[in-house]
Structure 1
């Protein structure tokens, strides 16, 4: 279907099977797979080493290589100017006394972002 594989693929689900499939479907010689989704802590990425010897590239990133110290001021400015709608990404709010519930939401893939109220 792709005549040997795709040139680039970005995997965003965090499903270990999707991650492996993404890497295995890139073209030998120049294909690049970028893993963005966060897998379960117990998952293992297993593929045949020959896939790497065939010059496929596997990359990963947390938060798009975002650098808080240098990038955060621009994000705050965009938010304050109403150019960035962060509220739509907040799916849950919990009091600090229920912080474990926030981790459960995250680990079960049930939330995008959860606000933990301190007071």
Structure 2
């Protein structure tokens, strides 16, 4: 996927900046334990954003739903 953005250069000349963020600013290596603890202590809600719970056999369908923007969060259930 190739994404582009456009902007007027004068905005940058007047001091405005453009910033990007991966994982919402979280650092997976150092912040993951904190995130899990917050979830376990019910400080953050995640479950209500899960829109699909397909079994592992339907993983391709799950990817299709995500690509088409038809699901917010998909949790794949793998067999034991």
TM-score (norm. length: structure 1): 0.54
What's the Cα RMSD here?
A: 2.1
Gap regions ≥5 residues in structure 1: 1-40
In 1: Cα distance, 2:4 partner to 2:39 partner: 38
CA deviation after TM superposition for structure 1 residue 92, in Å: 0.8
Larger RCO (alpha carbons 8 Å, 6+ apart): 2
The SS at the match of 2:54 is: strand
What secondary structure sits across from 2:43 in the alignment? coil
- Which residue of the partner structure matches residue 4 of structure 1? none
Q: What TM-score do you get using the length of structure 2 for normalisation? A: 0.74
Number of matched pairs: 78
Task: For residue 53 of structure 1, report the CA deviation from its aligned partner.
Answer: 5.7
Shift of 1:47: 4.2
Q: Whose strand proportion is higher, 1 or 2?
A: 1
**Runs of 5+ in structure 2 lacking a partner?**
none
Determine which structure has the larger helix proportion and give its number: 2
